[in-house]
C-alpha cells in the first residue's frame, strides 16, 4: 500500500519511522517493540561520527557493525566504485572468465595474509564464507577418501553468521532455539570466557583447560570423524571475549597433533583490528582456512571471502575436479575494486602500524580506567576491541538478575548522549574505526564514563526491576 507522503516525496523523521514500522523487517530485532519505539534514521557520516535525521551527532564506537575500519567519507573508495562501474559494473567468475579487480584482490590478499594462505574464494558476506568453508572442508576430506570426517568443532557463544549452516556452526543458543540448529555434525565446546565462566580459577589455567576440551572432544568423537575446528581469534558478537595467553598455543598444538583443519574466522579480527593484519598474526595461529568479510571493504560494499591455505588448496586443485559451489557475486568487480583500494589505503597510511604502536596501547590505558567505575566488574581491550562488564556488585562480580537489562539501559543512555556502544547482554562492547585518534579516544572514554554514571543513577532510581 503506497503511503501519502511517498507520493509527495517529502518525509520527516516521523514519516520515515511510520513507513519503517509498516514495511521494513529489521535483522536481529524484536519487530513489535521496535515498531512502538520507532527507529533512529541515520542519514550521513564523516570520519568516526554519524548524524541522524534529527541532526544528532554520535561518535560511532562500533564502526557500523565492526566494519567501517577506514572511517566514513573516504572519497577514494567512492571513486574506485564509480570508475569500475563505468568500465564494467558486473561480470562473473564462473565458466572460465574473470575480472581484473578480482584477480588483483586475490593477489593482494595472498601478499598480506599469513604465508601459507595463497588462494582466495570470494563471496558476498561472512555467512556465505563460512558456508563455503563447510563445503570445502567436507570436500577436502572426501577427496582424501575419508568422507566420514564431517564433524566441525566450534564453541558455545561463537558467532559465525546467520544462514542456516552458519547458525548451526555458531554457538549462539538463542539462535539455535528458534528451530535453526538444522545441520548435523557441528558440536560445541566451551568458550575461553574467563570473566563469565572462569569461576575463580587462575586465568592461564582456565585458558589451558578450556583449550583441552578440544582434545577431549576429538577423542570422544573419534579422530576419524573430526574434520576441523573453527574459532574467532577474539570473539566479537559474543562480547569481545579475549582468550587467555595459554589458549591459542594449546589449540594449535591439538589441531597439529590430530591433523584436523584449523579455521580462523577473521571477519572481525582481520585487516588490522588487533594491531596486526590478522588475529592469527597476533596470536601466532597457523590456520588452514580463514573467513574474511567486514573490514575487507571497510563495509563500503558487501564482500567476503575464504582464504585457503596450501594444504587444502593443493588437494582441491590437483584432485578435486569441479568444485560445485559459488555465488553470482563471487569476485564482483565493483566490490573487489573497493576492497582492493581499502587494502591499499591501509598500507599507504600505515594504519595497522599506528594501531599497534599508538592507538591500541592508548585505548588500553584509557579504557582500563573504566574498570574502577562502581558499575564495572572488568574493563578489557585488545587492539581496538574493548568490553566492559556491568555488574550489580563489584566485589563479588554478581550480575543483575534480569540479564541484559542493565546493558540495554546503558546502550540507550549512550545513544541519547551521542555515543554508539553496543550491549551484548550486560557486556558493553566497542570496535571503533581504526583511524580513531588519541584525542577521539579521550572523547570516547569520557562519554562512556559519563554514560556509566547516568546508567548507575538510573539503576539507583529503580529503572531496573531488580
Ligand atoms: C559478522 C560476522 C560473521 C557474519 O558475517 P555477515 O557478513 O553478517 O554474514 C561471521 N563471523 C564473524 C566472526 C562475524 O563477526
Give 276-287 pLDDT, tens digit per residue.
999 999 999 999
C-alpha cell at 261: 583443519
Vertex 150, ends 149 and 153: CA angle to 5°? Answer: 105
For ligand 1, what atom is nearest to the CA of residue 236? 15
For ligand 1, the distance from its centroid to the CA atom of residue 261, given in whole angstroms, is: 20
Measured CA to CA, the distance from residue 104 to residue 58 in angstroms comes to: 36
- Residue 325 has a pLDDT of 96
Q: Judge whether 410 and 422 are in contact, CB under 8 Å.
A: no
pTM for the full predicted model: 0.96
For ligand 1, what atom is nearest to the CA of residue 158? 13
Mean pLDDT, residues 327-355: 98
> Per-residue b/e over 61-73, b at no fewer than 16 CB within 10 Å?
bbbbebbbbbbbe
For ligand 1, the distance from its centroid to the CA atom of residue 126, given in whole angstroms, is: 4
Task: Choose the residue to mutate in 28, 62, 66, 125 for probing ligand 1, maximizing ligand atoms within 8 Å of C-beta.
Answer: 125
Query: Looking at the DSSP assignment, which residues form a beta bridge with residue 411?
Result: none
For ligand 1, what atom is nearest to the CA of residue 162? 9
Q: Chain-centre distance of CA 356, in angstroms?
A: 19
Query: What's phi and psi for 236, nearest 5 deg?
Result: -95, -75
C-alpha cell at 362: 592508548
Domain limits of the chain? 13-73+350-465, 75-348
Q: Chain-centre distance of CA 25, in angstroms?
A: 22
Closest CA to 73 of 53, 45, 41: 45
- Residue 32 has a pLDDT of 87
For ligand 1, the distance from its centroid to the CA atom of residue 303, given in whole angstroms, is: 11
- Give the number of other Cβ atoms within 10 Å of residue 212's Cβ: 15
The CA-atom distances, in angstroms, between 277 and each of 71, 118, 383, 403 are 17, 15, 11, 35
Task: Choose the residue to mutate in 69, 127, 306, 424 for probing ligand 1, maximizing ligand atoms within 8 Å of C-beta.
Answer: 127
Beta strand extents in 335-435 (DSSP E only): 376-382, 385-390, 419-420, 422-424, 427-430
For ligand 1, the distance from its centroid to the CA atom of residue 66, given in whole angstroms, is: 9
Look at residue 180 and tell me whether its pLDDT is greater than 90. no
Give 19-35 pLDDT, tens digit per residue.
999 999 999 998 888 88
Which helix (H) or strand (E) segment holds residue 144: the answer is: none
Q: Judge whether 351 and 364 are in contact, CB under 8 Å.
A: no
Residue nearest to atom 14 of ligand 1 (CA): 267
Q: What is the DSSP letter of 26?
A: P
Task: Choose the residue to mutate in 124, 161, 287 for probing ligand 1, maximizing ligand atoms within 8 Å of C-beta.
Answer: 161
For ligand 1, the distance from its centroid to the CA atom of residue 435, given in whole angstroms, is: 21
| Confidence bin at 161 (pLDDT 50/70/90) | very high
For ligand 1, the distance from its centroid to the CA atom of residue 465, given in whole angstroms, is: 33
Top CATH class of 13-73+350-465 equals alpha beta
pLDDT averaged over every residue in the chain: 95
- Residue 114 has a pLDDT of 95
| Confidence bin at 184 (pLDDT 50/70/90) | confident
For ligand 1, what atom is nearest to the CA of residue 269? 13
Which helix (H) or strand (E) segment holds residue 291: the answer is: strand 289-292
Which helix (H) or strand (E) segment holds residue 98: the answer is: none
For ligand 1, the distance from its centroid to the CA atom of residue 191, given in whole angstroms, is: 18
Alpha helices by DSSP H, listed for 120-198, are 126-143, 164-169, 173-176, 194-197
CA atoms lying within 13 Å on the CB side of residue 396 = 5
Mean pLDDT, residues 400-416: 95
- Residue 37 has a pLDDT of 85
For ligand 1, what atom is nearest to the CA of residue 237? 15
Give 192-221 pLDDT, tens digit per residue.
999 999 988 999 999 999 999 999 999 999
Look at residue 17 and tell me whether its pLDDT is greater than 60. yes
Ligand 1 proximal residues by C-beta, below 6 Å: 125-127, 159-161, 232, 236-237, 265, 267-268, 291, 293-294, 304
Q: Reduced to 3 states, what is the DSSP secondary structure of residue 145?
A: coil
Task: Choose the residue to mutate in 64, 131, 159 for probing ligand 1, maximizing ligand atoms within 8 Å of C-beta.
Answer: 159
For ligand 1, the distance from its centroid to the CA atom of residue 166, given in whole angstroms, is: 9
Measured CA to CA, the distance from residue 391 to residue 397 in angstroms comes to: 6
Which helix (H) or strand (E) segment holds residue 279: the answer is: helix 279-283
Q: What is the dihedral of CA 413, 418, 423, 426, to 10 degrees?
A: -40
Give 109-154 pLDDT, tens digit per residue.
999 999 999 999 999 999 999 999 999 999 999 999 999 999 999 9
From 3.40.640.10, 1.10.490.10, 2.20.25.90, 3.40.1160.10, which CATH number describes the 75-348 domain? 3.40.640.10
The CA-atom distances, in angstroms, between 120 and each of 154, 266, 356, 385, 424 are 23, 14, 26, 26, 32
| Confidence bin at 8 (pLDDT 50/70/90) | low
Look at residue 357 and tell me whether its pLDDT is greater than 70. yes
Vertex 295, ends 118 and 432: CA angle to 5°? Answer: 145
Amino acid at each position: 500500500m503506497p503511503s501519502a507522503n511517498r507520493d509527495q516525496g517529502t518525509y520527516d523523521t516521523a514519516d520515515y519511522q511510520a513507513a519503517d514500522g509498516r514495511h521494513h523487517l529489521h535483522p536481529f530485532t524484536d519487530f513489535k517493540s521496535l515498531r512502538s519505539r520507532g527507529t533512529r534514521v541515520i542519514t550521513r557520516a564523516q570520519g568516526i561520527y554519524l548524524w541522524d535525521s534529527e541532526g544528532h551527532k554520535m561518535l560511532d564506537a562500533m564502526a557500523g557493525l565492526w566494519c567501517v575500519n577506514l572511517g566514513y567519507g573516504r572519497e577514494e573508495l567512492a571513486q574506485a566504485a564509480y570508475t569500475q562501474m563505468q568500465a564494467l559494473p558486473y561480470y562473473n567468475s564462473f565458466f572460465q572468465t574473470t575480472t581484473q579487480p578480482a584477480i588483483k584482490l586475490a593477489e593482494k590478499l595472498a601478499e598480506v595474509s599469513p604465508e601459507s594462505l595463497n588462494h582466495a574464494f570470494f563471496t558476498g558476506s561472512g555467512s556465505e564464507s563460512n558456508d563455503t568453508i563447510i563445503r570445502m572442508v567436507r570436500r577436502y576430506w572426501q577427496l582424501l577418501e575419508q568422507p566420514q570426517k564431517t564433524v566441525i568443532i566450534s564453541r558455545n557463544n561463537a558467532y559465525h553468521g546467520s544462514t542456516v549452516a552458519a547458525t548451526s556452526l555458531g554457538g549462539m543458543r538463542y539462535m539455535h532455539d528458534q528451530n535453526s540448529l538444522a545441520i548435523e555434525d557441528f558440536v560445541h565446546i566451551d568458550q575461553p570466557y574467563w570473566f563469565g565462566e572462569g569461576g575463580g580459577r587462575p586465568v592461564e589455567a582456565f585458558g589451558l583447560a578450556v583449550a583441552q576440551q578440544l582434545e577431549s572432544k576429538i577423542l570422544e568423537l573419534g579422530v576419524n570423524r573430526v574434520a576441523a575446528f573453527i574459532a574467532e581469534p577474539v570473539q566479537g558478537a559474543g562480547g569481545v571475549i579475549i582468550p587467555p595467553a595459554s589458549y591459542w598455543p594449546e589449540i594449535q598444538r591439538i589441531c597439529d597433533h590430530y591433523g584436523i583443519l584449523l579455521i580462523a574466522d577473521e571477519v572481525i579480527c582481520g585487516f588490522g583490528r588487533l594491531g596486526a593484519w590478522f588475529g592469527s598474526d597476533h596470536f601466532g595461529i597457523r590456520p588452514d582456512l580463514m573467513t574474511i568479510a567486514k573490514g575487507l571493504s571497510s563495509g563500503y560494499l558487501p564482500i567476503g571471502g575464504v582464504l585457503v591455505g596450501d594444504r587444502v588448496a593443493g588437494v582441491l586443485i590437483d584432485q578435486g575436479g569441479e568444485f560445485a559451489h559459488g555465488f553470482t557475486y563471487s569476485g564482483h568487480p565493483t566490490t573487489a575494486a573497493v576492497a582492493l583500494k581499502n587494502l591499499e589505503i591501509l598500507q599507504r597510511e600505515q594504519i595497522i602500524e599506528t594501531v599497534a604502536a599508538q592507538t591500541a596501547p592508548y585505548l588500553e590505558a584509557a579504557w582500563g580506567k573504566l574498570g574502577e567505575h562502581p558499575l564495572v566488574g572488568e574493563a578489557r581491550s585488545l587492539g581496538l576491541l574493548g568490553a566492559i562488564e556491568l555488574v550489580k556488585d563489584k566485589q563479588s562480580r554478581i550480575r543483575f538478575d534480569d540479564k541484559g537489562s542493565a546493558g540495554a539501559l546503558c546502550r540507550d543512555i549512550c545513544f541519547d548522549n551521542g555515543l554508539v556502544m553496543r550491549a551484548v547482554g550486560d557486556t558493553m562492547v566497542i570496535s571503533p574505526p581504526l583511524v580513531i585518534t588519541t584525542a577521539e579516544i579521550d572523547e570516547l572514554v569520557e562519554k562512556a564514563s559519563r554514560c556509566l554514571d547516568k546508567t548507575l543513577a538510573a539503576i539507583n532510581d529503580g529503572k531496573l526491576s531488580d
